[in-house]
Structure 1
Amino acid sequence: MSFRARIAVSAAAAVALTVIFASVLVYLVARQQLRAPVDEALATRAADISRQPLGVFETPGGDTVLAVRPEFGEARGYVQLVRSDESVLVPLRQDIRLPVDADVLAVAGNESAAYWKDLEVDGIHLRVFTFAFGPDAAVQVARPLTEVDKSLEQIGLFLLLIAASGVAVAAVLGLLVSRAALAPVTRLTEAAERVTETRDLSERIEMSGRDELSRLATSFNTMLAALEEATRAQRQLVADASHELRTPLTSLRTNIEVLASDRALPTGERSRLLSDVVEQLGEMTTLIAELIELARAEQQASDPEEVRLDLLAADAVERAQRNMPGVAFSSELEESVVQGVPSTIERAIANLLDNAAKWSPPGANIEVGVRNGEVIVRDHGQGIAEEDLPYVFDRFYRARSARGMPGSGLGLAIVRQVADAHGAEVVAEQAEGGGTRMVLSFRRAPAISAS
């Protein structure tokens, strides 16, 4: 059974239970209201009999009968006197005798109180009231419930029709409501099936409102967006790697083929080729590592924490000075606390320092500053041409002046990726007096106070 059908059945069952409960309650109230006049009339008649003695006379045939008002012995009511010796007297024209049992005899012997009872006598449904009369007798007064039963039968049929109609209407409304309520689930299912069939992660579900199903659709759209972004990053990694590795692999293969051939090489040529192979392998290793880092950063997000920007910069400067002794680093670091992921911020600062060292002449000074949530790196190299400034943070972009230098073209792209992930900003500009000034600013990111 489908979920929609289960909702409709549940709604119909709930309405059915409610209607049945209400119908039973209405039936009982109507039964009480219809039987009350009968009980009241019997109680009144019993009071009348108790206030005056019952006459007894003999018929010409020698039978002893009760002398009561004629109207009470007609079809509208019955009366019967029962003595403790089990003898019974009825009016002359009353052809129905009420059954006498131990309960009646107990009332006749003053051993039990008066009571009400329903009886079926000769196919007639009777309401009977039995009460004590004198020291050794009981009187039974009865009235037929035929009209009451007919009315109750009509009421019961009417309530049954109402209940059946209510259940049917509830089932139909349940189907309509479940169809409307489960429309987002249907769209979600169809979207999931289309994604499974077409592998198109750009599929989205249109939603409105703020209920649980809308939240489910929103979560599904968010999941699809995350999957689409992860797939895009994976494809970008493959495309970037295939594009950037093609040239060094070709060169590497050529050099290895020359070294593996039997051809005699000039003096020093073999050593030069081997040096080129080692250098190309190093560049490829760096390129692959940076490509993987870019892809990993796009797909994974760490929880931000309080970061001392000045301490991260100090660690990066110390490591850069150790790895690149050909240049000097001077730093002016003020205490600055930002919200972020320490490892990725430190990687971005290191890439800025590496880029500055690459463009600095031997013995040049690189100035590093941290203040007010900003990292400033300024070198004294040849600088970046005006037309190249808008593109220096693009993947694999290399200015004309840099195409003969080692590097993957991914270092500054990683810096911008880190900045974007933190809601920060990175810019490159020409510095006064030559060189380049790069600023990684976290001012736009959520700020926290330094302790």
Structure 2
Amino acid sequence: MRGYFRRLVAACVDRVGIGTGLRWKLSAAIALVGALVAVALSLVVHNAARVSMLDNARSLADERLMIAQRNYELSGRLNFPNTKINDPELPEELREKVGEGRRATYVADRPGGSPDIWAAVPLKNGQVMSLHSGFTDRSSDILKDLDRALVIGSIAAVLGGSALGVLIGGHLSRRLRKAAAAANRVAGGETDVRVREAIGGVVRDETDDLASAVDAMADALRQRLEAERRVTADIAHELRTPVTGLLTAAELLPPGRPTELVLDRAKAMRTLVEDVLEVARLDGASERAELQDILLGEFVSRRVAAKDPDVTVLVVHESEVTTDPRRLERVLFNLLANAARHGRPPIEVTVEGRVIRVRDHGPGFPADLLAEGPSRFRTGSRDRAGRGHGLGLTIAAGQARVLGARLTFRNVRPAGAPRDAPAEGAAAVLWLPEHAPTNTGSYPLPPQ
């Protein structure tokens, strides 16, 4: 029964279409329950009052009939109001009871009107004396007043229940929204945020248990990530010395094709170790930008020309920005290297205000990168895989985070083409912040 009632309430709430939050759903549920209880109680009270009044009316009619019977037996004539002998309108049910030789009363309901009260008794001469009366006006007025009071009380109960639901639901909703906001801040990298402290409150309830569980989960994940970062950094740091020695020894080998292969692999290993160390430092969130004022278009043009003269640079709108040139160069070069390695020429760099776009004309970014962002040691689909370790874009995203910038990725398709149409290139967009970064991990929204 409880499960059926719960399903009934949920179905009614969903049918009404209430989807604005826990506050209004809880208010609607309490109002619905209050309305059902009020209607049920009103019907019970109305029927109980009506039955009680009818019983009193029948008792009064029976007493008056007994007085009329004694008067008739003493005087031989009817001298009591509303009494008759062998009344043809006597209800058949009452006539059958009187035929059994006993006094009886009967209530006849009239459609749309007050009920009729009948009382009858068999006389010694075989005739039937009956008394016919109606429901008194005073009783009808009392019943109407009672019904009016029940309706007003039911409305008040529904409104009071709704207000109570709004208050309770609002309090619970605010706590849950605070918990969600704090959890999002934790997910954004703010390690000093505690969900339990964010929701506040004096009364402990299930929301506090949820907040404590989220805090415990965040602490466990933070410790695990920190342990993984330390292991990665330690391994890369330990590999740094032997790799450097290997590269030095390879340079002393006699010239030839085998020496070139060894040097190439040793340099690739040294680059990998340096990249892993950089990723570990960026994961530690301890990096800080060394800010300078630069002209963004001129800076990008000079750096790209020195890196790869074949890349086209278009400065749509020049702007002066406050950023870290070394880290910005690192982001730019990694994006260019990714485009050259996985895309196809021509590679184009566009500077518009504080926005830098790097576009190639290759097969586009893989779907998992567009959905989840760069991930270390994952290079994507077959079209853009097979070379590299997936660290270039990871480092670019980490350095952008230190700059307080936002790095986004998208595939370029013809206007009006469906989403599953083949891409005509990949575009990485770096959004530099309007103000200099004050701490790491800030993600400004791109301009509309």
Instruction: Using structure 1 for the length normalisation, give the TM-score.
Output: 0.45
Instruction: Using structure 2 for the length normalisation, give the TM-score.
Output: 0.46
Which of these two proteins has the greater Rg computed from alpha carbons?
A: 1
